[in-house]
């Protein structure tokens, strides 16, 4: 009999995510995938799944699912209250959920995104080699709704890593510090703007999403008028729209854009951004020696 899960409570935004679709930018397809990739990978390791197995990524309010067959499940990422048919269960530790039981991952107690992983992985159909939901391109399954039924794969033989690994998971950030490599369009901004980027304090805006981390704070003044022709955008690009407030591109970002990019945050430093609540202070710091401008 097929193993499935049924969505009982979808939450604010719950999507299927894996490691995304790298290598398709030339086709206009973003990478997508789990925003907090270390949390996604950890959840799969705790179950003995391949790290590429699909999980459910929740946003702020969690979600609840009913499993059709006994299943081992773990929740990582943002801490939350976990229950199985109303009884308390541990967060960050694999637990066995009986057939027809409802596992509820409650609202995040700190942070933004939790990851529900199932032994065997979520087995929705892959598109371009990935099961990830991409909010910008529309690839992958739609964000989950109550009543949706998703297939679950068969678990690997027992013998995964110890659950103690979950205890090493870092807390979501109280301050988000993002290393940035300046360029390629830093020369579109005044010297004062470049200084402000690396010395000012920004805050996470509630208007952000999986496409980009929007920031509130000092505007960055441009040194030239006009707009750029659309050009390629990379994960972590710090794009500056007309209001002067930077936007850090995340997993579902567009692959081209016309606003100047003042710098790029290396992708390996982006995971904490997935857990930064609105209002979290943000500072940019040089990722390496800053180039000298002028003669």
What's the pLDDT score for residue 293? Answer: 38
The residue from 122, 139, 168 where one domain ends is 168
C-alpha 218/C-alpha 243 separation (Å) is 10
168, pLDDT greater than 60: no
Q: What is the pTM of this model?
A: 0.92
Same-domain check for residues 151 and 18: yes
Cα–Cα distance, 54 to 121 (Å, whole number): 5
- Both 158 and 230 in one domain: the answer is no
What gap in Å lies between CA 45 and CA 70, rounded to an integer?
Answer: 19
Do 186 and 88 sit in the same domain of this protein?
Answer: no
Residue 124 sits in the same domain as residue 193: no
Measured between alpha carbons, how far is 86 from 171 in angstroms, rounded to an integer? 26
Q: What is the CATH number of the domain that holds 189?
A: 2.40.100.10
Q: Within a domain: residue 196?
A: yes
3-state secondary structure (DSSP) of residue 195: helix
Q: Which two tokens stand for residue 277?
A: 């609540």
Answer yes or no: are the C-beta atoms of 254 and 136 closer than 8 Å: yes
Element (H, E) at 238: strand 237-239
* Domain assignment present for 295: no
| Percent with pLDDT over 70 in the chain | 92
Are 87 and 13 found together in one domain? yes
Question: Looking at the predicted structure, is the pLDDT value of residue 166 above 80?
Answer: no
Residue-wise pLDDT for 28-64, tens only, equals 899 999 999 999 999 999 999 999 999 999 999 999 9
What is the rounded average pLDDT of the residues 4-14? 98
Which residue, 199, 264, 271, is CA-closest to 237?
264
Nearest to 107 by CA among 132, 75, 134: 75
Nearest CA among 94, 102, 158, 122 for reference residue 3: 122
The pLDDT of residue 158: 59
- pLDDT, residue 160, reads 46
pLDDT digits (tens, 9 = 90+) for 169-224: 666 778 999 999 998 999 999 999 999 999 999 999 999 999 999 999 999 999 99
Question: What value does the mean pLDDT of the chain take?
Answer: 92
User: Do both 34 and 154 map to the same domain?
Assistant: yes
293 within domain boundaries: no
Tens-place pLDDT, residues 241-272:
999 999 999 999 999 999 999 999 999 999 99
Domain containing residue 245: 176-286
> For residue range 214-243, what is the model confidence (pLDDT) as tens digits?
999 999 999 998 888 899 999 999 999 999
Contact between 71 and 117 (Cβ < 8 Å): no
Any domain includes 291: no
**40, 34 contact by CB (below 8 A):** yes
Distance between CA atoms of 159 and 245, rounded to whole angstroms? 49
Single residue among 149, 168, 187 that ends a domain in this structure: 168
Query: Is residue 155 domain-shared with residue 188, that is, in the same domain?
Result: no
Reported as a pLDDT band with limits 50, 70 and 90, residue 18 is very high
> Are 226 and 125 part of one and the same domain?
no
């Amino acid at each position: 009999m097929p193993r499935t899960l049924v969505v009982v409570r979808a939450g604010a935004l719950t999507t299927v995510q894996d490691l995304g679709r790298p290598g398709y930018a030339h086709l206009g397809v973003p990478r997508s995938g789990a925003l907090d990739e270390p949390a996604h990978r950890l959840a799969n390791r705790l179950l003995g799944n391949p790290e590429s197995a699909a999980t459910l990524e929740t946003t702020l309010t969690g979600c609840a699912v009913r499993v059709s067959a006994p299943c081992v499940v773990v929740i990582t990422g943002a801490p939350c209250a976990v229950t199985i048919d109303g009884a308390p269960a541990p967060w960050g530790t694999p637990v066995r959920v009986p057939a027809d039981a409802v596992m509820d991952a409650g609202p995040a107690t700190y942070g933004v995104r939790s990851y529900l992983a199932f032994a065997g992985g979520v087995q929705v159909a892959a598109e371009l080699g990935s099961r990830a939901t991409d909010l910008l391109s529309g690839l992958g399954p739609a964000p989950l709704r109550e009543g949706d039924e998703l297939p679950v794969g068969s678990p690997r033989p027992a013998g995964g890593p110890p659950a103690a690994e979950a205890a090493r998971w870092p807390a979501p950030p109280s301050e988000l510090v993002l290393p940035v490599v300046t360029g390629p369009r830093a020369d579109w901004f005044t010297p004062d703007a470049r200084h402000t980027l690396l010395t000012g304090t920004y805050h996470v805006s509630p208007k952000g999403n999986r496409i980009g981390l929007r920031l509130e704070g000092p505007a960055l003044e441009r040194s030239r008028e006009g707009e750029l022709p659309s050009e390629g955008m990379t994960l972590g690009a710090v794009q500056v729209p007309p209001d002067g407030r930077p936007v850090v591109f995340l997993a579902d970002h567009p692959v081209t854009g016309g606003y100047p990019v003042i710098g790029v945050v290396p992708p390996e430093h982006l995971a904490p951004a997935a857990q930064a609540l609105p209002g979290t202070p943000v500072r940019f710091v040089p990722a390496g020696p800053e180039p000298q401008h002028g003669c």
